[in-house]
Amino acid sequence: MRPSSVLAVLALGAASTLHAETVERMVLSRGGVVLEVSAPASGIVRIRMGRGKLPEDASWAVPAARRSARLPLKVTRRGEQVLLRTANIAARIDLRTLRTDVLDGGGRLLLADLAGRAALSPDGGFRMRGRMGGDDHVFGLGDKTGTFDRKGGAYTMWNTDTYKFTQATDPLYKTVPFFLAVSDRGQAHGLFLDNTWRTTFDFGKTERGVLSISGEGGPVDYYVMAGPAPKDVLQQYARLTGSAPLMPQWALGFQQSKWSYKTDAEVRAIARRLRSERLPSDVIYMDIDYQDRSRPFTVNRQAFPHVRRLADDLRTQGIRLVLITDPHIANAPGQGYAAYDSGAAQDLFLKLPGGRYYSGDVWPGAAVFPDFSRAQARRWWGELHAGFVSDGVAGFWNDMNEPSIFNAPGKTMPLEVVHRIESDDFAPRSTSHAEMHNVYGQLNSRATYEGLLRLQPDVRPFVLTRATYAGGQRYAATWTGDNVSSWQHLKMGMQQLVNLGLSGFSYAGNDIGGYAGERPSPELLTRWFQLGAFMPLFRAHAETGRADQEPWVGVAAQVEIRRRFISERYRLMPYLYAAAEENSRSGIPLLRPVFLNFPSVLAHGDRLGGSEDQFMIGGDLLLAPSPMLESPGDYNVELPGKGWYDYWTGRRLDGKGLVVKPDIAQLPVYVRPGAIIPRQPLVQSTAFIPEGRLELHVYPGAGCQGDIYADDGVSLAYQRGGFLRQRIRCEQTPSGLKLLFEQREGSWRPWWNGMALYVHGWDAEAAPQAYAAGGALATSVDREQNAAVILAPDLAGGVVEIDRQRAVDPQGPPQPPASAL
Ligand code: MIG
């Protein structure tokens, strides 16, 4: 504790002396239970409670610096109640029961505590209870299935390999004990329980209107976040657990995977086919069969004689290799298996209480497991990647890290397995698998991420993990595991990805086409590609032993639709990348429920104001697939206001509702009035430099603005000024429109040699006149896009004036306006 800090430890009788004092934290003790309240940031309170003493102040989710920040709390006492507050949040503690209500800055009750010190049971377990707001909807908790709104459901946190999971399967692969509650009026708050043990969240399922959070062990250590808007809560949560670092741009490209492309020749053939079919793509994955006898960090040299040559050759075609590296190291002493030998030499594998290694059966047969809660083990694990990295492998895929064990009770290791914690600001100690199970995957992916950074300090790592814990977004992207090729899964998968984004995991995807089950019909595969083209992670994958389901499979007409959507993603890359960069600073996900951008939609309309079936990518694009994806029936789309545009035609829509007739060739996408969306000419890979102009698509409306962001896409130079960021705004003028190009930030020099400005909703026959710096610009009309098109030089700043009234015959010479004469 710093010497200047004020610690208030209340013997109950002395509490009255605290009136109007300011403290850094408050510790109260009653009936053997100790409670601590602090405010690590304005709008966040942290509450910890323990029997006899507080739980250890350490975390795998919240870095030490963020936990130790403490804002002053103003203390007021009223009778048996103590109120602690910052400007934006308050805790009201009942001194007899230690019940701790949380209120926002305006005094609105966010969480009415029903348990207080009674939450702790003598056996080390706990059960917190609170009253839920009557009109609160609940989101988050990672990739849980069930319903989009978690209200009325109960969910268990216990990372589990759930092959062919269903809507009813719980628990699943990940543990993110964070939820976002949003009322019908769009007022939001959040709660994060930082406890890695098996816990259960019950949102009024067992007891109507009562939130209950229980566990058999581990700390009662939770944070309540005040909002008031849903985005505020996500930003507060990102303050605590971090946001995903900016991914390499190629990770936003299309990724082709399969269990498995089994030989060098097969991988090359896939790459060739992607190119000859003109299916833009950036990545091919190699699943477990590239290895020698499924042993991690080996290569079957018959099948893959020369990984470096393969990686190099693919790289010239704009394709990067990602390899799977599973945590189950073959239990193979004395066989010259380097991963085992080096780990054993440093004594880094998990043990049973008697001191022998724990061994479980997985792909290589008997396997041992690194003790990732030791910094030393993570460092060793990272170094195992050195060979692949120097061979030019671009990223790594950490699977089976729940951890998953074959033929074992609960499909994982026994709870008595001993882990050693030697890391971060934890006190060094041994603990059981019951504490470390849910964080094993997160620490596995952390070891990979940090190892890659050590091996290549100026390259953005790419890691894909299946299991994880809150905060794991700092290390890896994720996917939802072994889904099924069905319409129901395609629908449910959207819900899972939206909730993952609301849980900090902005880079999430599901296996395009479905992983298991019957092979997808051509239409199902097409729809999956259409939606997948807008998902943060766009990765096709399927189980072994199935018929092919690459995008070229099926009749030409279907392939053409898939090609069009994959290509559209590449054209939209500047927009997606700007959203990714924003996410790295704010934690606001790329994929968003409609209510995140427009909280007011919750107040009117059903299906959460459209948020159950529609969703947004970034701040401006709204996707509206049919609520029943396979149904041929018409459906209604509710837009969050008037004046939206059709993305595909550029036409401005009347009204805010419309009826859509499903068509397998189309996916309705709408644009927020006031958006400015950057697009680029088509490339077949993010590794290729687009040729020509940057397109800026302007959709006039209120709050008109958009952002350009660009950098080298792969290195960390952007953290040292090697980026380009620019805001563009638009304003209506009496005669037309004015585009204001704000001054650029950063030193990155873009690829484009000019700009093409598309002003959409253009219904005039003739092109406008347009001027920049007094000079006339070439203009035309694009009827298909319902746009006036203005060709401009690259504008690092300045203004473009568009004069609609002095529309010109596109054939005639442009006339400067009176003001410029
Ligand atoms: O026991 O590596 O979820 O994506 O293809 C199956 C083989 C192991 C499960 C993953 C899946 C992957 C598969 N893995």
Mean pLDDT calculated for residue range 678-688: 98
- Per-residue pLDDT at 487 exceeds 50: yes
Please tell me the distance from the alpha carbon of residue 634 to that of residue 9, in angstroms, as a whole number. 64
Cβ(707)–Cβ(686) below 8 Å? no
Task: Indicate whether 18 pLDDT > 70.
Answer: no
Give me the helix-helix angle, 338-345 and 375-383, nearest 10°.
150
Query: For ligand 1, what atom is nearest to the CA of residue 481?
Result: 3
Query: Ligand 1, closest atom to CA 515?
Result: 4
Return the biggest CA–CA distance within the chain. Answer: 91
49 is written with which tokens? 């409670």
Name the token pair of 249: 């741009």
Pocket of ligand 1, candidates 259, 284, 466, 537: which has the most ligand atoms within 8 Å of its Cβ, to mutate? 259
Q: Which residue's CA is the closest to the ligand 1 atom numbered 8?
A: 400
C-alpha dihedral sign at 440, 446, 448, 451: negative
Band (508; pLDDT cuts 50, 70, 90): very high
Atom of ligand 1 nearest to the CA of 543: 5
Read off the tokens for 104: 């926002």
User: Which residue, among 364, 363, 378, 379, has the nearest Cα to 332 in the 3D structure?
Assistant: 364
Gyration radius (Cα) of the chain, Å:
28
What's the CA-to-centroid distance between 515 and ligand 1, angstroms? 9
Q: How confident is residue 655, by pLDDT bands cut at 50, 70 and 90?
A: confident
CA distance readout (Å), 246 to 475, 581, 719, 761: 11, 6, 10, 34
Q: Is the pLDDT of residue 282 over 70?
A: yes
499/9: higher pLDDT = 499
SS3 699: coil
On whether the CB atoms of residues 542 and 514 are closer than 8 A, the answer is: yes
CA distances from 654 to 641, 642, 673, 730 (A): 10, 7, 12, 21
Catalytic residues, by residue number, are 399, 402, 482
For the chain, give the percent of residues with pLDDT over 70: 96
> What count of other Cβ atoms lies within 10 Å of the Cβ of residue 605?
16
| Minimal-distance CA residue to ligand 1 atom 6 | 400
Q: What is the pTM of this model?
A: 0.96
The rounded distance, in Å, linking the Cα atoms of 106 and 101 is: 14
Taking only the tens place, the pLDDT of each residue in 192-241 is 999 999 999 999 999 999 999 999 999 999 999 999 999 999 999 999 99
Q: State the distance from the centre of ligand 1 to the C-alpha of 478, rounded, in angstroms.
A: 13
- Give the nearest ligand 1 atom to 544 CA: 5
What whole-number distance in Å separates Cα of residue 360 and Cα of residue 254?
35
pLDDT at residue 814 tops 60: no
- Taking only the tens place, the pLDDT of each residue in 27-77 is 999 999 999 999 999 999 999 999 999 999 999 999 999 999 999 999 999
Strands 669-671 and 81-85: unpaired
Among left, alpha and beta (phi > 0; psi -120 to 50; other), residue 209 is left
Percent of the chain with pLDDT over 90: 93
**pLDDT value for 815:** 52
Distance CA 126, CA 118 (A): 8
The answer to whether 282 and 564 are in contact (CB under 8 A) is: no
* pLDDT tens for each residue of 95-127: 999 999 999 999 999 999 999 999 999 999 999
Q: What helix, strand, coil percent values describe the chain, rounded to 5? A: 25, 30, 45
pLDDT for the residue 606? 75
Closest ligand 1 atom, residue 288 Cα: 2
Spatial separation of the C-alpha atoms in residues 351 and 420, rounded to whole Å: 10
Calculate how far, in angstroms, residue 163's C-alpha sits from the geometric centre of ligand 1: 9
Mean per-residue pLDDT, 697-708? 97
Distance 307 CA to ligand 1 centre (A): 21
Ligand 1, atom 12: nearest CA belongs to which residue?
259
Contact in structure between 90 and 214 (CB atoms under 8 Å): no
Distance CA 327, CA 348 (A): 12
How far apart CA 431 and CA 450 sit, in angstroms, is 24
- Closest atom, ligand 1, to C-alpha of 260: 5
Q: What is the pLDDT of residue 89?
A: 98
Structure token pair of residue 267: 């991988």
Pocket test for ligand 1, best of 262, 465, 482 (most atoms within 8 A of CB): 482
CA angle 272, 277, 280 (to 5 degrees): 85
For every residue of 454-490, which 3-state class applies, written as one string?
A: HHCCCECCCEEECCCECCHHHCCEEECCCCECCHHHH
Among the residues of 49-173, which ranges form H helices?
64-68
Paired tokens of 372 = 């990732």
Pair 388, 448: CB distance under 8 Å: no
pLDDT at 15: 45
From ligand 1's centre to the CA of 258, what distance in Å? 9
| pLDDT score of 20 | 58
Q: In which band, very low, low, confident or very high, does the pLDDT at 11 lie, cut at 50, 70 and 90?
A: very low
Give the pLDDT band of residue 722 (cuts 50, 70, 90).
Answer: very high
CA of 387 to the centre of ligand 1 (A): 23
> What is the pLDDT averaged over residues 603-632?
92
806: confidence class by pLDDT, cuts 50, 70, 90: confident
Question: Bridge-partner residues for 730, per DSSP?
Answer: 739
Residue 444 banded pLDDT, cuts 50, 70, 90: very high
Cβ distance 644 to 671 under 8 Å?
yes
pLDDT at residue 468 is higher than 70: yes
How far away, in angstroms, is 276 Cα from ligand 1 center?
28
- Residue 218 backbone zone (phi > 0: left; psi -120 to 50: alpha; other: beta): left
Residue of the nearest CA to atom 13 in ligand 1?
259
Angle at 577 between CA 571 and CA 579, to 5 degrees: 115
pLDDT of amino acid 807: 66
Pocket test residue of 325, 400, 402 for ligand 1, highest count of atoms within 8 A of CB: 400
Rounded Cα distance between 558 and 772, Å, is: 44
Pocket of ligand 1 (CB under 6 A): 259, 287-288, 324, 399-400, 466, 481-482, 541
Pocket test for ligand 1, best of 174, 261, 287, 405 (most atoms within 8 A of CB): 287
Q: pLDDT band for 133, please (50, 70, 90 cuts).
A: confident
Average pLDDT of span 435-444: 98
pLDDT of residue 4: 33
Provide mean pLDDT across the span 317-329.
98
Is 383 exposed, middle or buried, given 0-12, 13-18 or 19+ CB atoms closer than 10 A?
Answer: middle
What is the mean pLDDT of the segment spanning 328-343? 98
